[in-house]
Each structure stands twice: as C-alpha cells, then as structure tokens.
Structure 1
Amino acid sequence: MSSNLYKPEEVAKILNISRFTVYGLIKRGELPAYRIGRSMRIESADLENYKRKSRSSELFTGHEGLPADPSAPAHYPGLIICGQDVILDVLSGHLEKQIPGVQFLRRYVGSISGLISLYNRTANIATTHLWDGDSDEYNVPFVRRYLPGQKACVVNLVSRVEGFYIAPGNPKNIKDWHDLIRPDIRFVNRNLGAGARVLLDEKLRKLNIDSRNIQGYSREELSHLAVASCVARGEADVGLGTEKAAMQVRNIEFIPLQKERYDLVILPQDINPQHFETLLSILRSDEFRKEVMGMSGYDISQMGEIIAEL
C-alpha cells in the first residue's frame, strides 16, 4: 500500500464501512478518487479531509456533492483532471512529458460532478459532454449553470457518437428512444450526473416519455464499458453509451443516435498560464492528434479549438 494512496477496500477498513459504501461516496462526489490504470485510488489527504468533515458534521450536501461552503480553499498536489474517457490517460502522459515535475491525477467522475469540482476548486480541468435539449447545444449552457459568476474557457478535446448498445443482430428490433418503454425491453442506465444520463433524461423530457415506464431505468452503472458489458452478458437488452466503448466489448452491436462534443472546461484563474498554453499546444500538435486518430472512435476536427470563453 502506498503511504499516499489507498484502494477503496482499504478505505472501507479504515472507515469501518463496506466497500460498496465507499464506491457510493465516490459516485456521489463526496470522496474524491483517481483512476490509475484500471484501478481507483483515494489520496490520504482527501480521506483525512472527508473524516474531518464527518467529525464536524460538514458532510457534503446538495446536488451532486456540492459542499455547504463551495468557496472553501482546497489543497491538492499537481493538476487534477476530471473525466472517464481513456483519451485522458493519453493526454496526461503528454502533459507529464511537457511539464516535468508536475503530477497529473485523474478524478474518475461524470460531467456534472466534474463541473462542481471546478466550482469547489478541487480540480483544475473537467471534461463534459452535456446536451441541453432546449438549445440543442453541448456543454456551454451547463458551464453557465454550474459555474455561475466564473470566467471559464471551453476547449474541444474530441467529438464522439452516443448510441444504443444491443445484442448482435438486434433480436429485439430496437430502433429509437420510444422502444425503451416496450414491456419486453430491459434497459441499463448510467449514474446521475453522467453525460449519457443527461442525454437520456433530456431526450425523454423532449419526447414526453415517462421514465417510470422504462424497465431497468433505476439500474445504474458507472461507465460506458460497464453498461456495454451488461448488454453483452445478456443482463439487459439495451444501454446508452459511446461508440468507442462498443468497440472494446465483444458480443454487442451499436446503433448511432447522436454526435456529441467532448470538451475540456478550465477556469483560467485556477491554472498556470504556461500550463494552459502547453495544454493547447499538445491538443494542436500532430503527434497527439495522430495518436488519438489511431485509437478510433473519435472525431478530432475541432480538437484544440476554443469553443467559448465565458
């Protein structure tokens, strides 16, 4: 065990709770966690901070883990990037090469939790793919909503395709959103705050579809891969996620539904200007772009483009 990082199972023993409770804390954003390879780790400083808040009854409250005092200063090493896509591992590797001596950590949370982490000053960069059904716009409306009064910069990383994961040959003949309420269809959902969950809920709202009529709506998984795996194992007939994940899981097919923009959101005042320029330089470099193109499943046509300065 590292003196600075704990596994969820180790945190469970320290707090005398189940590991499922630990994963619940991570899911809700109450206990920060980082993705290192295929494993999750909790930093000792974050664990001590959680314990201190618990003792003083200052537990996280409100939507998606918003603390009672969101302006309280946070203490964290290096630079923290919120997001789940594997492309962020590649980006972190390039940043480490270009900015030696600075540690880059991943916080494995969904889009809304990432924005709230920026607001709470517990992260430097957040990734989002949040679709607003009223404006048909990605990310910018949510940045305004979750970062009120903050100057923010939205930079495109890639674009991806969201769609349905289904069994090979599409035996249930699933075609669109309305099929989700059929009594013979079992759905598997994403967790609250995830971009795919927001897309689903916005589509249901716009189409006037009652989520209570969807069998499996309350079953939640924490990643696109987990959703795709459920369908591949036959535990669900359909799930929603990215085309990239469909390429990584056997025994499923993919029905494309919507192209989405996967952006980086940064508060310029909370990041070293030189680090920000290095980030843009990497995104616009031939080396990085070719590496991402080789991974398939991504559209890099807007990569490195500043979408909005708010």
Structure 2
Amino acid sequence: MQHIELSYQWTPPGAEPVRNRQSPLRNPLMDLLQAVRDTGSIGGAAKAMGLSYRHVWGQLKRWEESLGQSLILWEKGQAARLTGFADKLLWAERQAQARLLPQISALHADLEKTFAVAFDPAHLVLPIFASHDAAMDLLREEAASRALHLDLRFCGSVDAIRALNEGRCHVAGFHAPWQPDAPSLVARTYKPLLKTGQHKLIGFAKRAQGLMVARGNPLGLRDWADLCKDDVRFVNRSPGTGTRLLLDQNLQERGLDPASVKGYAHEENSHSAVAARIAAGQADVGLGIAHAAEGHGLDFVPLSQE
C-alpha cells in the first residue's frame, strides 16, 4: 500500500496562489496524467504545463518505476492514452478531493490563522462556522486582502448556528429557502436557534438548490417526487445540514416517505462529495448546488431558491 504525505507552502504577498479552486491539494503525478488525458500526447502535456518533453517523459517513467504499474500506453504512432490503473488513480483523487474539501478548507484556514500571528501580530481574526459554499472561499480571499482573516470552519447549517450560540464563533453561515412558511420544518428548526435582539441577520448570497444528475439527465428527473422512483439511486447529505433539512421538508410537504427514496441512508458530507459519487456512476441523483454539479461535469435541475 502506498503512503501519503501532506505538505504546504507559502507564497509572497500579492502572488497568485499555486492551488487550484477545484483542487486544494495538488500532486504532480495527477497533474501530469490529467494533462496527457486532455492533450492526447506527451508533447502536448509538456507544452500545456510549460515543461520540456524530456522532463515529462522522465517523470512518468520514474512514477511507473516507483509505483510498479504502467501509467501510459506507449504505442508508436498512436495518441498517448492512460492505462486502466492511471484512470483509477485520477478517479480516486477526484473522490478524495470531493470528500475532503470542507476539511481541507478548514485546515487551510487553520494554517493561515496560525502563521498570520507569526508574520503580523496586528492581523485581525474573525471565527466563522458556516455551511460550505464556493462564495465563502471568495469572501475569505477578499477579507484577507483587507487584513481580516476569516477563520472558517465548515459544518452543517444547524451546527453553525449552534456554534454561534455556544460562543465558539462570531459569525454563522447558514442557508434556508427564501421566506419559508412558519409551519415548515426549516422554520421550526431554525427559529429556536435564532435569538431576537441577540443575533443580526445579514443577507449574503442567493443561490438555487436542485437535483445534480448525469450529463443529459438520462432518467429525466425533474421534481421531488422523482426521487421515489424504483430505478433511481439517491445519495443524501448528513443530518444537521441545511440541504438535508430542505430535502426532509419537501418530502414531508408532499407526503413522500423517506423510506421510499433508494439511498436515503447513504450520506456524504458536502455537495462536492455527492456530485463525485454521481459522476462516478455510484448514484443517479443528489441534492446540491449548481457550482458543485458543474465542477464534476453534471447537469443541474433547480428546485428551490435560497
């Protein structure tokens, strides 16, 4: 079994970060394999990465020797193709990236906060617990440019508000349907947690939640009731998340039994992890946001405005 090592690096103020928004942890082998797949040749991969042909070819050979597995089908006169093993490596990395994105983002925030104290004792820190969304990453970058560090901890919406009430953060980010009815499950869940006179609500962003499905929507899924079809494999979010709350509310309002949703008990901890399972063919549909669907090459069917 291969051993995994993690590392981090610093970039000078004002420099473009090395990390990719869709890939917070980078590995040089995965970058090489993806470039070969995208360009269909070693030379094309080298050009795309700004490296020499000799360097890319040598790196791939060294990786093959280290891993004891072939990575490229070396057929003279044919376009370079990844072996089945290399395809599985890329698939495994996408799965890991999707599942670990919230934890990686929190770890990144921890490192920045810790070193901010070392490099600039006057740097301000604002603890935030929030449901994960790409907009929060953009907000963190904007705040950092103004000497305000957002100590972001990603968790479910309900858990974020509880953290605020327990004094573990100064700001809680949560999402809810636009003006939910008072008797709704969402309203009944959030209302006891939000204190009039103690909390201030700040509207931050509007987004749609909906069905994330394979490209072309082969099963023709369009509504909440479609989740109960016998041939539909669903992947759920964990309890305490706003997305799980949204699902349960809509099933309840329509008189649909969660037990009739095939995969209701199969849970993932982020929109991206749900999308990754659908992209891998392990499920047909999940509830999430357009950004996560697009990031994994899926189609998106909007159902609810938040």
Which range, TM-score by smaller chain?
Answer: 0.5 to 0.7
Matches within 5 A, 1:167-206: 167-206=214-253
Shift of 1:144: 3.1
Q: Is the 8 A contact 1:166 1:237 kept in 2?
A: yes
What displacement does 1:176 show? 0.9
- Displacement of 1:156 in angstroms is 1.1
TM-score by length of 1: 0.56
Tell me, in whole angstroms, the C-alpha distance in 1 between the residues paired with 2:202 and 2:155.
Answer: 19
Mapped to 2, the partners of 1:39 and 1:116 lie a distance apart of 21
Residue 103 of structure 1, CA deviation? 3.8
Deviations 1:211-240 (A, max 9, x none): 011110011111111111111111001100
Q: TM-score, normalised by structure 2?
A: 0.57
Task: Please name the residue that 2:142 is paired with.
Answer: 94
SS in 2 for 1:171: coil
1:109 correspondence with 2:155: yes
Matches within 5 A, 1:106-145: 106-131=152-177, 134-135=181-182, 142-145=189-192
Q: Over aligned residue pairs, what C-alpha RMSD do you find?
A: 3.1
Please show how residues 1-310 of structure 1 align to structure 2 within 5 Å.
35=103, 37=105, 78-83=125-130, 84-98=132-146, 100=147, 103-131=149-177, 134-135=181-182, 142-148=189-195, 151-250=198-297, 252-260=298-306
Amino acid corresponding to residue 109 of structure 1 in structure 2: C
Could you say which structure has the larger radius of gyration? 2
CA distance in 2: counterparts of 1:94 and 1:166, whole angstroms: 32
Structure 2 residue identity aligned to 1:184: D
Q: Structure 1: which 5+ runs fail to align?
A: 3-26, 28-32, 44-76, 261-310
Residues 196 and 241 in structure 1, CA contact (< 8 A), matched pair in contact too? yes
- Kept in 1: contact 2:274–2:286 (CA 8 A): yes
SS in structure 1 opposite 2:256?
A: coil
Question: Is the 1:204–1:211 contact (alpha carbons within 8 Å) kept by the matching residues of 2?
Answer: yes
SS in 2 for 1:240: strand
Question: Structure 1 residues 244, 189: closer, same or farther in 2, change over 3 A?
Answer: same
Q: Which has the higher strand share?
A: 1
Amino acid in the other structure paired with 1:125 = V
- String of CA shifts for 1:118-146, please: whole Å, max 9, x gaps: 00000111111124854388987655311
Query: Would you say the 8 A contact 1:115–1:126 is kept in 2?
Result: yes
The structure whose RCO (Cα within 8 Å, separation 6+) is larger is: 1
Aligned partners of 1:137 and 1:209: how far apart in 2? 15
For 1:121 and 1:166, locate their aligned partners in 2 and report how far apart those are by CA, in whole Å.
39
State the shift of 1:184 in Å.
0.7
CA distance in 2, matches of 1:239, 1:40: 27
SS in 1 for 2:282: coil
- Contact 1:133–1:203 (Cα < 8 Å) also in 2: no
CA distance in 2, matches of 1:215, 1:150: 43
Query: Secondary structure at 1:201's aligned position in 2?
Result: helix
Deviation at 1:147, TM superposition (A): 3.3
Figure out how many residues of one structure are paired with residues of the other and give that number: 195
What is the distance in 2 between the residues matched to 1:81 and 1:218? 29
Comparing 163-172 with 217-226, greater Cα deviation is found at 163-172
Determine what percentage of the aligned residue pairs are the same residue: 32
User: How far, CA to CA, are the matches of 2:199 and 2:170 in structure 1?
Assistant: 11
Distance 1:256 1:36, change over 3 A: same
Structure 1 residues 138, 150: closer, same or farther in 2, change over 3 A?
A: farther
Query: What amino acid is the match of 2:133?
Result: D
Distance 2:183 2:290 in 1: 20
Unaligned runs of 5+ in 2: 1-5, 8-98, 112-123
1:71 aligned residue: none
* CA apart distance, 1:38: 8.1
